[in-house]
Amino acid sequence: MIRITEDTLDINAITNEVIDPACGGIDVFVGTVRNQTKGKEVTHLFFETYESMAISEMNKIASLIKEKWPVQKISIHHRVGRVEIGEVVVVIAVSSPHRKEAFEACQFAIDTLKNTVPIWKKEFLKDGEVWVSAYP
Amino acid sequence: MKLNVLLFGVTKEIIGESPQQIEIQGETVKDLRDHLLNNYSKLSGLNSLMIAVNNEYAENDLQLKESDEIALIPPVSGG
């Protein structure tokens, strides 16, 4: 399942989506909100998205993965809106017959998502706010 | 031609509310990019500025239509 939501992400429920009798390996990546960045204290994050294109790009990642690896199922869920320290921002779950492909596909999914999916993160710091990666 | 352009993230802070109606000379993605960089110099300081047309990343030579859904895509930072 591919989903963008303002709701809390349920890691167990998302992992269960990819369980498959043909698969012995499930790899799950969980991205959470860190309380500091470059030595500065972060109070919370805000994520904005261009949802229609983001869903399209996430579907492309899932299609690419199924072309490259014998992956049976893949789920990508991403939070948007305000997210607090320690909360889950993204969950990617991948199932395949063997673990090696599941690890590789899951890493490819998060790396590609960070490069191509139109989602933007604003960090709220003790002394200001900044759109992440916008400027050199 | 007059284009309705969706803005996200830092581009809203540089240009203004989304969507923006932007009138350009010419009709390609490059013409829109040139217009934006000429009028909003802060855009040239960004790490990257992609333009999406109808939910796809667009190349500079793509021909635009007034009915297209156009969006500015500053550096993404999901995950």
Three-class secondary structure assignment of B12-69: HHHHCCCCEEEECCCCEHHHHHHHHHHHCHHHHHCCCCEEEECCEECCCCCECCCCCC
- Note the pLDDT of residue B79: 94
Q: What is the pTM of this model?
A: 0.96
Question: Please, which residues have CB within 8 angstroms of residue A98's CB and are 6 or more apart in sequence?
Answer: A24, A25
- Note the pLDDT of residue A114: 98
Contact B76 A117 (CB under 8 A): yes
B16 residue type, one letter? G
Interchain CB contact of A47 with B (< 8 Å):
yes
pLDDT digit string, tens, across residues A1-44: 999 999 999 999 999 999 999 999 999 999 999 999 989 999 99
Partners of residue A53 in chain B, C-beta under 8 Å: 52, 55-56, 71
- Find residues 27-46 of chain B whose CB sits inside 8 Å of chain A: 45-46
Contact A115 B76 (CB under 8 A): yes
User: What distances in angstroms separate CA A101 from CA A52, A74, A104, A116, B79, one per listed residue?
Assistant: 29, 12, 5, 22, 21
Interchain CB contact of B10 with A (< 8 Å):
yes
Point out the residue among B9, B71, B77 whose CB comes nearest to the CB of A53: B71
Interchain CB contact of B19 with A (< 8 Å):
no
Q: What ipTM was assigned to the predicted interfaces of this complex?
A: 0.96
Sheet with A73-79, strands from edge to edge, namely A2-5, A73-79, A88-96, A25-32
- In which residue are the tokens 């923006």 written? B20
Contact B52 A53 (CB under 8 A): yes
Contact A48 B8 (CB under 8 A): yes
With a cut of 70, list the residues of chain B below it in pLDDT. Answer: none
Which tokens belong to A88? 């889950």
Q: Percent of chain A having pLDDT more than 90? A: 97
